């Protein structure tokens, strides 16, 4: 059974994952109209993944006797000046999510809720992967700089990262 405090903290995370999905969906749409089809596919896939992260939390909360809440979200930004800005924001957002997960882990330990602590380990591992991937992509973008040919290849290459998500 979840304590009220843990239930609230997990529900806050439901909102963060839903918000992540919305942000990446907005990035996907922007990239699509800019003709960056690889970036767009990557972001659509990221958005879907975030929804699965959210659903996993919803199921867990309800299974543990809580009530998962679906709440209102802030409208995400809809336009970006460069594709680099998109990935900078992806990286910053993933770091924010990692901090939120760490905070949740901390709460689960302080309340001796080891079932929740165990459940959260999947998210801890996922965030290590997602932060590393976003950092890796940003490093590549910095190498490309303003080179148009490089951007073309980058847009093609990024599709290969989708399955690893």
Query: Annotated binding residues for Fe cation, as ranges?
Result: 17, 50, 53, 94, 127
Q: Quick one: which of 10, 57, 94, 104 contacts ligand OFO (CB under 6 A)?
A: 94
* CB of residue 101 to ligand OFO, shortest distance in Å: 8
Q: How far apart are CA 38 and CA 16, in angstroms?
A: 25
- 61 and 11 Cβ atoms separated by less than 8 Å: yes
Q: How far apart are CA 23 and CA 97, in angstroms?
A: 13
Query: Is 20 a residue that touches ligand OFO (CB under 6 A)?
Result: yes
* CB of residue 19 to ligand OFO, shortest distance in Å: 9
Whichever of 53 and 117 has its CB closer to ligand OFO, that residue is: 53
Tell me which residue has its CB nearest to ligand OFO.
Answer: 53
Q: How far apart are CA 24 and CA 114, in angstroms?
A: 32
- 54 and 17 Cβ atoms separated by less than 8 Å: yes
Q: Which residue has the tokens 């990239």?
A: 31
Whichever of 13 and 151 has its CB closer to ligand OFO, that residue is: 13
* CB of residue 107 to ligand OFO, shortest distance in Å: 17
Query: Residue 26: how many CB atoms within 10 A of its CB?
Result: 19
* CB of residue 130 to ligand OFO, shortest distance in Å: 5
Q: Quick one: which of 23, 58, 117, 126 contacts ligand OFO (CB under 6 A)?
A: 126
* CB of residue 96 to ligand OFO, shortest distance in Å: 9
Binding string, residues 26-65; x marks residues near ligand OFO by CB under 6 A: ------------------------x--x------------
CA angle in degrees (0–180, nearest 5) for 4-95-133: 125
- Between the CA of residue 158 and those of 36, 89, 153, what are the distances in Å? 10, 17, 9
């Amino acid at each position: 059974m979840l304590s009220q405090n843990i239930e609230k903290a997990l529900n806050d995370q439901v909102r963060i994952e839903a918000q992540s999905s919305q942000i990446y969906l907005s990035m996907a749409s922007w990239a699509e109209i800019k003709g960056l089809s690889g970036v767009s596919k990557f972001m659509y896939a990221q958005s879907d993944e975030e929804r699965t992260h959210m659903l996993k939390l919803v199921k867990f909360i309800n299974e543990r006797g809580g009530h998962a809440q679906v709440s209102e979200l802030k409208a995400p930004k809809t336009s970006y000046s460069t594709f680099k800005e998109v990935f900078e924001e992806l990286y910053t957002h993933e770091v924010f999510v990692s901090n939120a997960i760490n905070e949740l882990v901390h709460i689960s330990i302080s309340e001796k809720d080891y079932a929740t602590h165990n459940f959260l380990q999947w998210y801890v591992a996922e965030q290590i992967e997602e932060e590393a991937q976003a950092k890796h992509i940003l490093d590549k973008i910095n190498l490309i700089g303003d080179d148009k040919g490089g951007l073309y290849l980058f847009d093609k290459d990024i599709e290969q990262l989708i399955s690893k998500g």
